[in-house]
Every structure is written in structure tokens, then in C-alpha cells.
Amino acid sequence: MMLLIYFGITILLLTGMLLFRRRKVITILMLAFLLNQSGLTAIIWLNPGIVQMKYFVFDPLASLFLSLLTVISFTTVIHGLINLRSDSTRRYQYYQMALTGLIASITAATLANHLTVVWIFVEATTLCVSVLIYHEKNRLTLEAVWKYIFVCSVGIAIAYFGILFLGLGLRENAGFDLTFREMALILGDTNPLYLKIAFLFVLVGYSTKIELFPMHTAGVDANSVAQPQVSAFISTAMVNLGFVAFYRVYLVFSQTQIAGWMNHILILTGILSILTAAGYMLKARHAKRMFAYSTLEIMGLMAIALGFGPSAHPAALMILIVHTLIKSGLFYQLSQFFRTWHSYKIKETGNYFALNPHGGLVLMAGSMLILAIPPSGLFLPEWMVFVSLAGAGQWLVLCTVLALLGFIVYGFSTRMLHLLFSRPIEGRLEASENQTNWYEITIQWVLLAVASLLCFYQPPFLLALIHAAIQPF
């Protein structure tokens, strides 16, 4: 009933945005939706373990990532109000409707406890994101949106093939249910071949959202052309959605006889993701693409943590939490960077610290944090992964990952130092006087401060929630 009320209010608000084509009314309706989103998040915290409408569950994994989604939704909407001030009412209307639909779809997919229901809402996010990517309506956004739709549609089709193979493996179980808890009870005797094929399809399919190798390209291109606050949302909330959708399947499969094989695949995927990120980082020419490659690298580390086994799963979840805070703050700051230089190309820009000291400090601090340099909250979970690899004697994997991370740190640092302190290398762009709202900077610093605090102090309730979220069904 509670979830039904949430969806009902969301539909009413979307209808209002469609009918009332006044900017102030649309803004008020969007803020009302954020209150609706916050109310649902609070209800989930107060009613753990409840199953709603048969196909949705208020479990710890959903509580954790829905809370992150709500926080990022608020900050994304606030930055959107600033960045879209010059947009027409029609474009503003489409943007807010698409963002509302996207947040609601991510919410539904995060709460879903049925494999097919998750698949349906993940596909719904693709349609909503496409509208946001195409917001500028130019050649680059048109190319990016078609590529995003094509790659994500292929990915979701591949994931569906995984569901079909899983169904083939379960065909002897009459009346079987694809809820995750039910599958966990009956998959133990399933033919391992079907399970392996299903796992590979699900991993490849959902890697379009997680931004893992080999389907990471859609996210990279989308991040490079979308509005900065939309890029922040794609690199955080959408990535977290992909993780939740995949992790629920992983928890079910981890109780079968393919668990060890599955972990090897994840470690290999993580290494290939970091390798790809390192290669692209060394030739990055675009600030937003550079941040997108950073997401690919961090998701690779997350996959390695998953593949190492349950002991490293808390580190994987902590990586996602801290990455959400840092990467959103960095992308939000790029909106101010663009208002100064009107370009994201690294060689055409530079000297940002002198032009906007407050924004330059955010980029400098955020860059240190995203590279896991203390006091970054990424330092501890990544250190846990490295210690686990060393303790297990996985020296080849450890050395390979550390070497690749060295290239990434070099490529990211040199380009960021140019953006902050060097003069433009080419082009004749003139820097504009930057107009920064105090609440823009405040939000960005709060996100980075929380990410730093997690390096020194992890609240007991957060650790308890993480450990509850990684428990098998």
C-alpha cells in the first residue's frame, strides 16, 4: 500500500508537469516529488523487511541505495535549477518530467525482488535517461543518445537471454518463481552450464549501467555530452542501480556450485575494466570523459572486490557509497567550469584556479579524493581489497592492478593540474566572469566532506546496514 501511494503520487505529479506549462508550477511539482521520494525512503527505514505489491521488498540493500538515490536526487535537482535558467519552458518541462520518471524507475528497480520486474524497470531508465542526454538537441547529443539507446538495448536484451537460460535450467521445477528468495532455494540442483551462461549474459547486460567492461562505452559517451548534473546522476545513481540489479543475481548464484568460477570472471572483468580505463585516461582530451573513465576504473576495483568473495563485499559497497559522493561533487563543479570556459576540452581550457579559486579548490580536493589519496573515503576499502589480494597470494592480480592504477593516477593528475594551473594550449576561447551561487559550492563541499569523514569514521548504523545488505537470501 505504501509503495502504491508513492507511485500514485508520482503519476499525478507527472501529469501536472505535462498539463501546467509554467516554469514555477513545474518546479513546485518537482520539489513535491522530492518530498514524496524522501517520504518513501523514511518509510522503508521504518519498515524493514516488508514485501509490497508482491514484487517489491524493503530490504537492507534497497534501504542503503535508495537513501543514496534520494540524496543525489536533491543535489541534482538543485544544480539543475541553476544550470537550466536560460532554457525554454518546453525544454525545462521535458527535463523535469524525464528526471522524475528516471528517479521513480530507479526506485522501483532498486526495490524489486523479482528478476523480470528488475529487468523491466532497468529498461525504463534507458528511455528516461535518453531524454536527459538529448536535452541540448545538437549533433553530439543526438549521436550520443542513439548510441546510448542502442548499446543499452542490446545490453538489456543480453540480460534477458540470461533470464531465458535461467528459465531453461529451472524448467524441471514446476511453478517456479523468479523472485530472488525463491530462486536461492531451488538453484542448487540446476545444471551448472545453464547457470554459467545465464550469469555471463546478466553480467554483460547490466554492465551497460554499471559502466563495466565490455559495455561501458554508452555511459562514457553519455557523460561527455549531457548536462553536468545529469552526468553526475548517470555516474552515480545509474551505476548504483546497475550494481543492485546485478548484485541480487550474484547473491543467488553465489550459493550454487558455480560460485568460484563466477568470482574468477568478476576479477577478470575488473582487471579488463581498469586496463581499459588506464588506456583511455592516458589519451583523455575531454574533462567529462576523463571523469567517466575514472568511473570505469573504480567500478573495476568494485568488481575485483566482489570477485574476491564475501569478506571483501563490505569494501565493494563502501567503494560505491564514497564514489557516489565524490563523483557527483566533481561533476557538479564542472558546470561552473563550463560557465567559465564554455568548453570541456582540456587543451582549450586551463588556469581555472586563478579564475575561480573556490571552484578550483573543489576540483583539487575532489581529484585527490577520487584517486583514493587520504583523507579519501576510498582509501580504506581499496586498501582492504589490496590486503585481501596479498593475503590470498594473488600477487599477479595485485601487481597488475597497482601498475594500471599508477598509469591512471598519472594521466588524471597531469590533466587536472593543467586544468587548474596551466594556460590553454590551443584555441582562442576567452574566459567569462564566473557566477557561482553559494549553495552550489556548499553542496559540493558537503559531499566531499562526508566522503573524507568516512576515511576516519564509519557510523555503526552504516556498517550494520552494509553487513546486512551483503547477506544471502
The overall pTM is greater than 0.85: yes
> Which stretches of 342-394 are DSSP H helices?
352-355, 357-370, 379-391
Residue 109 placed within a domain: no
Q: For residue 413, what is its C-alpha cell?
A: 593528475
Cβ pair 232, 240 in contact under 8 A? no
pLDDT digits (tens, 9 = 90+) for 144-163: 888 888 888 888 889 888 88
Q: For residue 193, what is its C-alpha cell?
A: 552450464
Question: How many C-beta neighbours within 10 Å does residue 264 have?
Answer: 10
pLDDT digits (tens, 9 = 90+) for 37-62: 999 999 999 888 887 778 888 989 99
Tell me how far apart the alpha carbons of residues 2 and 68 are, in angstroms, rounded to a whole number: 20
Tell me how far apart the alpha carbons of residues 273 and 81 are, in angstroms, rounded to a whole number: 34
pLDDT in tens, the chain (473 residues): 778 899 999 999 999 998 888 889 999 999 999 999 999 999 999 888 887 778 888 989 999 999 999 999 999 999 999 888 888 889 999 999 999 999 999 999 999 988 889 989 998 999 999 999 988 888 888 888 888 888 888 888 898 888 888 777 676 655 567 778 777 777 767 778 888 888 999 999 899 999 898 888 888 888 888 899 999 999 999 999 999 999 999 998 888 888 889 999 999 999 999 999 999 998 889 899 999 999 999 999 999 999 988 888 999 999 999 999 999 999 999 989 988 888 888 888 888 898 888 989 999 999 999 999 989 999 999 999 999 888 888 899 999 999 999 999 999 999 999 999 988 887 666 666 666 778 889 999 999 999 999 999 999 999 999 999 988 76
Tell me how far apart the alpha carbons of residues 128 and 124 are, in angstroms, rounded to a whole number: 7
* pLDDT of amino acid 259: 84
Residue 211 placed within a domain: no
Q: Identify the domain containing residue 325 by its residue range.
A: 258-473
Half-sphere exposure at residue 274, Cβ-oriented, CA atoms within 13 angstroms? 25
Tell me how far apart the alpha carbons of residues 5 and 81 are, in angstroms, rounded to a whole number: 27
Q: 434: alpha, beta or left, given left = phi > 0 and alpha = psi -120 to 50?
A: beta
Residue 42 placed within a domain: no
Residue 117 placed within a domain: no
Residue 311 placed within a domain: yes
DSSP helix/strand/coil, 51:
strand
Cβ pair 286, 411 in contact under 8 A? no
**Number of helices and strands in the chain (H, E):** 20, 2
Half-sphere exposure at residue 250, Cβ-oriented, CA atoms within 13 angstroms? 26
Tell me how far apart the alpha carbons of residues 441 and 328 are, in angstroms, rounded to a whole number: 12
Residue 342 placed within a domain: yes
| Omega prior to 214 cis, within 30 of 0 | yes
* pLDDT of amino acid 433: 67
Q: How many domains, in total, are found in the chain?
A: 1
Residue 165 placed within a domain: no
Long-range CB contacts for residues 71-76, cutoff 8 Å, separation at least 24: 72/232, 72/233, 72/236, 72/237, 72/324, 72/328, 73/34, 73/37, 73/103, 73/233, 73/237, 74/34, 75/229, 75/232, 75/328, 75/332, 75/443, 75/447, 76/229, 76/230, 76/232, 76/233, 76/237, 76/328
Residue 33 placed within a domain: no
- The CA R_g of the chain, rounded to the nearest whole Å, is 22
